[in-house]
């Protein structure tokens, strides 16, 4: 197990009464003017916005609306929110939505205080990845769509439309003060978005799992349990949009996958995410579906890179998918696990080709050229193999 530092300052309110804690948190922080940020019309249509507004009023605070946060939040949207926060004298940010809203709001809370011009803000935090040396506006989160796990970390993945780069980093200083996770708030999420979110969550775990070290590592035991839970519960949640237990399991698995707990002791190579982020930067595709288009091709490129890789993929096949190793070579067992993932991806309706997501042949080279190849994978890719993975996923 590798050395690690674990840090998480977020308070989680899990369950059906979670939203009632919002007013208490705002009052404890002395909030006077709260920016309530959300995506599209669903926040108001489902009544979640009204519930949050009631909590803000109960805290004796004034509400400032910031809506229209898109599925892949842009740098321009971050700057818009930061300018609004400064102009209105906002002293607390409240994100109501899924991962895109959460990610955007973390950066809004930071940019509102570190008031740099757009290009300088991007260079500081998304090119040089400098540490946060200011105190961002305090942030609270009400989760209405699960998958990214952004409610439990300081990650903010943002797209720079001018440079066609989508990237982010986990900064503990931008963690939310609290997060409300009420599984019933996810009942009304469209099925496609629910599937995409769960696939993203599963891939967070897989990318943590398929990194060094391997062997008797506690993180891998925990990851296998969490991955198995997503595999079992996504079909249940799709079949019954009001299955509380299924939605609760998916919600908490999503949080655990990205609140740093399951990463402890692992290198946590996110090479697959790095590839998909650039696909998203060029196409604005749905993140989880972008992952689904690439995942099995990517894993077929790395499963036999070393004895460690074969061991880990064999363990994945046996402990997550229940495949017997009897009569199989190490390569056959490893491939059987990837095939099981491929079949499940198709069965739950997650699978798309990159062509279906808007990638064209003339995009393959620029996408491949823009992807950072990470040194911590079970197999370190180069630009040509990344392009091959993209081409095979078309």
The pair of three-digit structure tokens given for residue 7, joined into one six-digit string: 């840090």
Tokens 């986990």 belong to which residue? 170
Asked whether residue 16 falls in the same domain as residue 136, the answer is yes
CA angle in degrees (0–180, nearest 5) for 48-53-59: 130
Note whether residue 319 is domain-resident. yes
Residues of the chain with pLDDT under 70: none
Q: Is 2 within a domain?
A: no
Q: What is the pLDDT of residues 13-65, one digit of tens each?
A: 999 999 999 999 999 999 999 999 999 889 999 999 999 999 999 999 999 99
pLDDT for position 376 = 80
Q: What domain count does the chain have?
A: 2
Q: Which of residues 167, 186, 205 is at a domain's end?
A: 186
Packing angle, helices 75-88 and 99-111, rounded to 10: 60
Query: Which of these three, 162, 186, 210, is where a domain ends?
Result: 186
User: What's the CATH code of the domain at 70?
Assistant: 3.40.50.1970
Query: In this structure, are 167 and 97 located in the same domain?
Result: yes
Instruction: Check residue 322 and give its pLDDT.
Output: 97
Predicted TM-score (pTM) of this structure: 0.95
- Within a domain: residue 316? yes
Strands (E), the chain: 11-14, 33-37, 62-66, 92-97, 139-143, 158-160, 165-167, 178-181
Domain boundaries, position 354: 191-392
Is residue 6 domain-resident? no
Is residue 159 one of the residues assigned to a domain? yes
In a domain, 208, yes or no: yes
């Amino acid at each position: 197990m590798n050395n690690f530092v674990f840090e998480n300052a977020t308070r989680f309110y899990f369950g059906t009464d979670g939203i009632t804690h919002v007013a208490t948190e705002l009052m404890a922080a002395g909030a006077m003017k709260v920016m309530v940020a959300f995506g599209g019309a669903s926040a108001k249509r489902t009544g979640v916005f009204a519930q949050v507004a009631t909590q803000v009023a109960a805290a004796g605070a004034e509400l400032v609306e910031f809506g229209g946060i898109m599925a892949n939040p842009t740098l321009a949207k971050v700057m818009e929110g930061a300018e609004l926060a400064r102009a209105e004298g906002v002293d607390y940010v409240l994100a109501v939505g899924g991962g895109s809203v959460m990610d955007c709001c973390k950066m809004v809370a930071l940019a509102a205080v570190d008031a740099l011009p757009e290009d300088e803000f991007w260079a500081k935090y998304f090119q040089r990845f400098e540490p946060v040396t200011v105190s961002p506006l305090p942030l609270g989160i009400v989760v209405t769509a699960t998958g990214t796990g952004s409610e439990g970390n300081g990650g903010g993945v943002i797209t720079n439309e001018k440079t066609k780069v989508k990237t982010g980093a986990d900064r503990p200083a931008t963690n939310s003060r609290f997060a409300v996770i009420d599984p019933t708030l996810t009942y009304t999420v469209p099925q496609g978005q629910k599937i995409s979110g769960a696939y993203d969550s599963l891939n967070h775990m897989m990318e943590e799992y398929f990194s060094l070290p391997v062997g008797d590592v506690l993180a891998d035991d925990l990851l296998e349990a969490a991955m198995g839970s997503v595999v079992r519960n996504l079909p249940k949640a799709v079949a019954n949009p009001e299955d509380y237990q299924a939605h609760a399991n998916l919600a908490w698995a999503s949080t655990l996958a990205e609140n740093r707990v399951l990463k402890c002791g692992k290198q946590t190579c996110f090479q697959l995410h790095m590839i998909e982020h650039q696909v998203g930067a060029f196409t604005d595709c749905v993140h989880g579906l972008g992952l689904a288009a690439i995942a099995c091709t990517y894993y077929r490129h790395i499963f036999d890179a070393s004895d460690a890789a074969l061991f880990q993929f064999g363990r994945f096949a046996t402990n997550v998918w229940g495949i017997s190793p009897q009569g199989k070579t190490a390569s056959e067992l490893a491939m059987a696990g990837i095939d099981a993932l491929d079949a499940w991806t198709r069965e739950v309706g997650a699978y798309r080709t990159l062509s279906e997501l808007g990638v064209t042949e003339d995009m393959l080279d620029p996408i491949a050229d823009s992807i950072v190849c990470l040194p911590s994978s079970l197999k370190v890719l180069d630009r040509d193999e990344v392009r091959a993975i993209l081409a095979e996923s078309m």
